[in-house]
Structure 1
Amino acid sequence: MDWITGIQKAIDYVEDHLTDEIVYEEIAKRAYSSSFHFQRIFHVICGFTLGDYIRIRRLSLAGRELAESNAKVIDIALKYGYDTPESFSRAFTRFHGSSPIQVKNGAAVKSFSRLSVKLALSGGTIMDYRMETKEAFDLIVKKKRFPKNTELTTVEITGFWAECSKDGTIDKIIRYADDKIFGKNIVGVSFEYEGDDSEFPYGIGASYGGNKITDHDLSVVSIPAHTYVVFQCVGKMPEAFQKTCQYICTEFFPTSEYQPIGLEFEAYPSPDVQNPDYTCEIWVAVEKKK
């Protein structure tokens, strides 16, 4: 399945379940992706989070129902996932600019239409990339587990990086690292292929050089052999990273013979991410489209 079709199937699933409890992992499965990876790509492409989309679509539909029917406010609140009329009224008023009662009395409502993925004429972007085929290798990492069915943003991941930099974890990783795979870069990676149904682990690490590990908060993970497309990302973070990801998702993969398989590394050479000439790499594991 190509990336565009997968995103559309995921959006269709959301739309079909707006009055149900929505499990983020189930959405991501429609795109053959992990919850973390799908939420991040969705945010890059759309400019708002998956959670924002779900909330605003529900409030949009709730506004239309209140304006066009005799439904009670409490029934609409419960239908769209709010535990109390008060919490519904607060969210409703923030979005529409009018309370549910005011809307029932004729106040205007806002409309937020459903997303539809379309292939549009775009491109003209020049971006260097290279193909790398790597045999299986070991990664030395510090992991942190995040609940799968929660809204994930760059804030959580950025906070984990800041924590590892402050407490000396990155310095410890460097002591065990070699430069065979990623050079001297430190990498971020999501391990969607391990863990239980409720969590996914995100790791910060480096290619493992083989020295005996005496720091018990670090672990070694075996990465299977893969082919990667490697993109260079130049500029101040996180803007340059988001721009590169948008290109990868909206221009490269829709027209490429390859598709992502869910494993991705972000390779950073230093913490100097505010430098306008900062250069890092995004490694995306791929396979040929069937």
Structure 2
Amino acid sequence: MLERLNQALDHIEDRLRGDLEAAELARITMTSEYHFRRLFSALAGMPLSEYVRRRRLTVAGAEVLAGERSLLEIAVRYGYGSGEAFARAFRAVHGIGPGEARRTGAALRSQPRMSFRLVVEGNSTMRYRVVEKEAFRVIGRGTRVPLVHEGENPAIAAHIRSIGQEALDRLALLSDGEPQGVVSAVTHLSESREEGAELDYWHGVVSGADVPDGFDALDVPAGTWAVFEDEGPLPQAIQYLWRDVFTQWFPSNPYASRPGPELLSVRPSADWTTARAELWIPVERTEA
């Protein structure tokens, strides 16, 4: 997988001055566009579109300073429909307009070309199982929240408080499927998973019961799930588990993520300093 990811990076470099389709990058890596975008973001620390934009404007910046082509020629050469659009994008990356950069010979910012390498560290292993699950539903309450990579998510905490303990206790009694107990479900994540991107967050239970008054249901189609288990300090262990699934497990296993809610069951310790977590990720098998 790492070799194919690096071939995709080579393809990006070859297309900095032309059309670049994410679908072609997915074909090179032998996976879906959906999975490629999410995997790239997890490994690179930025969305695919942002990396391509920075690389294009890094190379374009060198041409601006060289002065051999007009600014409009450079803009068109790197896929911008007008000088104004190019100037806005250029300023966003370099902090200065292309005309001023050319006149003053200003220092510009550079996005280095990326490559992915295998780094071996530690001796930990990831515990997982693969489950084929029939269609089910999550009964609870949903809301729209921003994505937070590390630390507490205030929007999620406020949503859980708004449900109230009495309602949560009633929900827990409805749990009759895996993952058991009260769970969280996130869906409609952006493919890039950038910090601050909005997602739908549900707090509820997997249940075949009728939906009680005051609650809603999230219907989930049948499919394959990779289930990961971990234990550690709250909330870092849970957030790191999510990260490690995409940066370590997927590149090493013949599976790709597929659209669908990601489910998390957390069993906190008595003092809420640590927890056991079970993370369900919707997956599909790929060619080895």
Q: TM-score higher than 0.5 here?
A: yes
Give the residue type in structure 1 aligned to 2:60: A
The answer on whether the counterparts of 1:189 and 1:202 sit within 8 Å (CA) in structure 2 is yes
Residue aligned with 2:220, SS? strand
Q: Which residue of 2 aligns with 1:183?
A: 180
Q: Please, which of 150, 154, 176 is the counterpart of residue 147 of structure 2?
A: 154
Q: Counterpart in 1 of 2:280? A: 283
How many residue pairs were aligned? 265
Gaps of 5+ in 1: 146-152, 193-200
Question: What per-residue deviation string (whole Å, max 9, x for no partner) do you get for residues 37-83 of structure 1?
Answer: 54443333222232321221121011022123521113323443445
Query: Which AA in structure 2 matches 1:188?
Result: A
Give the equivalent residue in structure 2 for 1:101: 99
**Counterpart residue type for residue 5 of structure 2:** I
Distance 1:124 1:223, change over 3 A: same
Counterpart contact for 2:231–2:277, Cα < 8 Å = yes
- Could you say which residue in structure 2 is the equivalent of 1:114? 113
Deviation at 1:181, TM superposition (A): 0.6
- TM superposition shift of 1:122: 0.8
1:210 aligns with 2:204: no
* Paired position in structure 2 for 1:57: 55
TM-score (norm: length of structure 1): 0.66
Hey, what's the Cα distance between the residues in 2 that align with 1:227 and 1:72?
Answer: 53
Report the alpha carbon displacement of residue 252 of structure 1 after superposing the two structures with TM: 3.6
Partner secondary structure for residue 116 of structure 1 = coil
Q: Do the aligned partners of residues 28 and 161 (structure 1) sit closer, same or farther apart at CA in structure 2, a change above 3 Å counting? A: farther
- Judged with a 3 Å threshold, the aligned counterparts in structure 2 of structure 1 residues 182 and 34 are, in CA distance, closer, same or farther, namely farther
* Fraction of identical pairs, as percent: 23
- Pair 1:267-2:264 in alignment: yes
1:219 is displaced (CA, Å) by 4.2
4+ runs deviating over 6 angstroms = 141-145, 213-216
Deviations 1:242-264 (A, max 9, x none): 533443344444445x4335367
| Secondary structure of the structure 1 residue equivalent to 2:221 | strand
**Residues in 2 aligned to 1:59 and 1:271: alpha-carbon distance in whole angstroms:** 47
2:41 corresponds in structure 1 to: 43
Please state whether the residue corresponding to 1:209 is helix, strand or coil. Answer: coil
Distance in 1 separating the partners of 2:173 and 2:13? 47
> In the alignment, which residue of structure 2 is the partner of 1:197?
none
1:75 aligned partner, one-letter code: E
Conserved? CA contact 1:133–1:228, under 8 Å: yes
Cα RMSD (Å) = 4.4
- Amino acid in structure 1 at the alignment position of 2:179: F
Instruction: Judge conservation of contact 2:42–2:247 (CA < 8 Å) in 1.
Output: no
Q: Does 1:139 align with 2:137?
A: yes
